[in-house]
Structure 1
Amino acid sequence: MTDAAVVEDEIEPKSSKLPLILGLVFLLVGGGGGFFAAWSGLILGGESEVVEVEAPKEEGAPEVVFVPLDPITVSLPQSSAQDHLIFRAHLEVGAQHVSDVEAVLPRVIDVLNGYLRAIDAQDITNPSALTRLRAQMLRRVQVVTSPEQVKDLLIMEFVLN
């Protein structure tokens, strides 16, 4: 009787792997369905459809013209790591003021050249300095022209070498 008890303990019925396989299949199907629902926007809001509407053009709305400035090359002090600053920009001007601004371009170049020569080399190398420099240069250009004539200064090239 002891041999029969030992044989019964050793022979246990094999458990079925069907629940494990079904669980994995349902997991994959559910995950794929959830991904598709989130990706297509059925759940979590998704991206709203962007409709581009062309604004009606007002009669007399000012057109904008970009007036290029001649490139300016500034020699930096010997104490700085770089030798030169190359600066190129465009002025955003209302279409009705283009001829007025072009008439004073030499004065604008002179003001910018003087400002760029007067700033410190450390001010130029600071990564956040470009925004401040741009604002300072725009203010000086608007003093030479007028705030109504020049709307913005767009820096096209600012290279230290």
Structure 2
Amino acid sequence: MAEEDTAPEGETPKKSKMPMILGLVLALAGGGGGFYATWSGMILGGDGEKKVAEEKKEVADPFGDIAFVEVEPMVISVDSQPERRLLRFRAQLEVPKSYEEDVTKLLPRVVDVLNSYLGALEIADLEDQAALTRLRAQMLRRVQVVTGQDRVNDFLIMEFVLT
């Protein structure tokens, strides 16, 4: 009877894979929990609650810290061969409220830079489909050079008419 309970000599008894599967499941659960704890700021974050409060504060009033400074309307002569054409232009600058007064003081320089740039353009530069986007980016960059890098957030074109 003892011979019937033992496996034949050529075969080895099957080992259970349950400990390996259980270990793999626990490792995945631990890794996922560790990732979430780090990502959410529960560990190694320290000031996670402070960040969430700051984000809610920013979302509550996203437009509270900006002001708009109007640039004087301009009429610029654009040379073309057979006839002279005029560009009527009006814009506003989006600035942080803390710099509104500084940018207002520098408006004569801003108008000078814009007048020089727009006067140097040709009709072909203005007739391109992507011209307004390109011109807006160029003018914003020039205004930021005059006023300072962080003083002007955006350049808004209010009127751009070629007559």
Q: Where on the TM-score scale, by shorter chain, does this alignment land: which range?
A: 0.5 to 0.7
Residue 81 of structure 1, CA deviation: 6.5
Specify the SS of the correspondent of 1:90.
strand
Of residues 95, 100, 103, the one that matches 2:102 is 100
Aligned to 1:147: 149
Matched residues in 1 for 2:57 and 2:161: separation? 38
Letter in structure 2 aligned against 1:157: E
Matched residues in 2 for 1:93 and 1:107: separation? 16
Matched residues in 2 for 1:137 and 1:98: separation? 18
Q: Deviations over 1:105-151 (max 9, x none)?
A: 00000000000001121001112111000000000000000121000
Q: Deviations over 1:35-75 (max 9, x none)?
A: xxxxxxxxxxxxxxxxxxxx73349x860101110011011
Of residues 58, 65, 72, the one that matches 2:74 is 72
Matched residues in 2 for 1:81 and 1:160: separation? 13
Matched residues in 2 for 1:118 and 1:78: separation? 12
Whether the aligned pair in 1 keeps the contact of 2:78 and 2:121 (CA below 8 Å) is no
Alignment RMSD: 2.2
Relative to the length of structure 1, the TM-score reads 0.61
Residue 78 of structure 1, CA deviation: 3.6
- Percent identity (aligned): 50
Q: When the two structures are aligned, how many residues end up with a matched partner? A: 107
Matched residues in 2 for 1:78 and 1:134: separation? 22
Residue 122 (structure 2) pairs with residue 87 (structure 1)? no
Whether the aligned pair in 2 keeps the contact of 1:80 and 1:121 (CA below 8 Å) is no
Specify the SS of the correspondent of 2:153.
strand
Residue 56 (structure 2) pairs with residue 56 (structure 1)? yes
Whether the aligned pair in 2 keeps the contact of 1:76 and 1:83 (CA below 8 Å) is yes
Residue 82 of structure 1, CA deviation: 6.4
Q: Deviations over 1:74-116 (max 9, x none)?
A: 1111426661000100000000000100010000000000000
Aligned to 1:115: 117
Segments of 5+ residues of structure 2 without an aligned counterpart are: 1-54
Relative to the length of structure 2, the TM-score reads 0.60
Matched residues in 2 for 1:139 and 1:80: separation? 32
Give the 4+ runs in structure 1 shifted more than 4 A.
Answer: none
